[in-house]
């Protein structure tokens, strides 16, 4: 039988009779109830909320054939050795930079060059990246004019012989129909079909854990566009990709993701523009 606490006894006496017993039974049961630190009381994590460690198809357990149920000790040891041999050792840091403010009146890509504010924003972001004292391994730029210019300004500010690659996969576009939908922005379904495949290909090209031969952590700068970065963040964090338009990024802002050897992904910063004076912070 459950022992009454001093307070529960006093409550029972004060209320009296059957009513007091009822109050005691209620409070005793309540005291033993579980409390969840969340708005939900789900005791079982739904499948869609579980982390998929093989999201990049590079989980060592998916590469090495597992031993059979009747495997010998030598076979199990051999399997463990092969597993260790393909496990990554380094962290891949991907730092995504949105281009600076550009000329919205431009009708073609070459007319959508950076404004004076946009060039200042890129310069400030370059200064911020420089003081981090990180050994950048390379920069990848979208082939669109505004990203090319932003990347050039940043690389000049870094003042180092930084290898630069240009990539058309990470050009701006419409990755996937957003949820909830936005009335003033509604591309044709064909645009999502075309852009989405391209942007997803960009994600698969750059987002994966380190190769087993990589000994040291790497730091890669990717200069591209807001829609692309927002989609990449959702995909990398295994959030519903349709949520990408719920995120907002300022011009020349810094988004930092780290891919660990285990396959876990850490979002260290999203759209950071705190290194800019307020008068230079823009998003449109």
In a shared domain, residues 61 and 192 = no
Evaluate if residue 11 carries a pLDDT over 50: no
Please, what is the average pLDDT of the chain? 89
C-alpha Rg value of the chain to the nearest Å = 27
Between 1 and 161, whose confidence is greater?
Answer: 161
**Rounded to whole angstroms, how far apart are CA atoms 127 and 217?**
22
Give the model confidence (pLDDT) of 171-194 as tens digits. 999 999 999 988 787 888 899 999
Residues of the binding site for substrate: 98-103, 146
**Cβ atoms within 10 A of the Cβ of 280, count?**
19
Annotated binding site: 98-103, 146
pLDDT for position 284: 85
pLDDT at position 103 is 95
The answer to whether residues 58 and 143 belong to one domain is no
Residue 20 falls inside a structural domain: no
Q: Count Cα neighbours of 140 within 13 Å in the Cβ-side half-sphere.
A: 19
pLDDT of residue 189: 87
Say whether pLDDT at 237 is over 60: yes
Determine the Cα–Cα distance for residues 55 and 235; give it in Å rounded to an integer. 10
Judge whether 135 lies within some domain.
yes
Chain segment 207-231, per-residue pLDDT in tens: 999 999 999 999 999 999 999 999 9
Residues 202 and 110 in one domain: yes
Q: Show which of 85, 114, 131 is a domain's final residue.
A: 85
Mean pLDDT of 237-246: 96
178 and 258: one domain?
Answer: yes
Q: pLDDT tens digits for 82-127?
A: 999 999 999 999 999 999 999 999 999 999 999 999 999 999 999 9
Domain-located, residue 242 = yes
Q: Indicate whether 111 and 227 sit together in one domain.
A: yes
Find, among 183, 182, 186, 125, the residue nearest to 157 by Cα.
125
Domain that holds residue 76: 47-85
């Amino acid at each position: 039988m459950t022992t009454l606490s001093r307070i529960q006894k006093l409550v029972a006496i004060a209320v009296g009779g059957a009513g007091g017993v009822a109050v005691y039974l209620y409070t005793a049961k309540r005291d033993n109830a579980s409390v969840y630190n969340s708005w939900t009381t789900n005791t079982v994590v739904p499948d869609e909320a579980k982390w998929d460690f093989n999201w990049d198809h590079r989980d060592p357990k998916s590469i090495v054939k597992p031993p059979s149920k009747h495997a010998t000790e030598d076979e199990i040891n051999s399997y463990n050795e092969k597993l260790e041999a393909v496990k990554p050792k380094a962290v891949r840091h991907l730092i995504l930079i949105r281009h600076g403010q550009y000329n919205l009146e431009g009708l073609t890509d070459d007319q959508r060059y950076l404004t004076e504010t946009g060039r200042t924003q890129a310069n400030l972001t370059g200064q911020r990246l420089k003081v981090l004292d990180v050994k950048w391994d390379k920069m990848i730029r979208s082939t669109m004019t505004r990203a090319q210019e932003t990347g050039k300004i940043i690389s000049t500010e870094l003042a180092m012989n930084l290898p630069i690659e240009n990539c058309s996969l990470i050009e701006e576009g419409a990755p996937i129909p957003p949820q909830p939908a936005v009335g003033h922005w509604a591309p044709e379904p064909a645009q999502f079909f075309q852009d989405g495949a391209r942007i997803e290909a960009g994600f698969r090209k750059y987002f994966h854990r380190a190769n087993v031969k990589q000994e040291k952590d790497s730091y890669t700068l990717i200069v591209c566009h807001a829609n692309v970065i927002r989609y990449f963040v959702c995909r990398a964090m295994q959030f519903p990709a349709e949520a990408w338009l719920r995120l907002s990024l300022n011009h020349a802002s810094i988004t930092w993701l780290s891919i660990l050897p285990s396959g876990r992904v850490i979002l260290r910063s999203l759209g950071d523009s705190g290194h800019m004076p307020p008068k230079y912070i823009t998003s449109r």
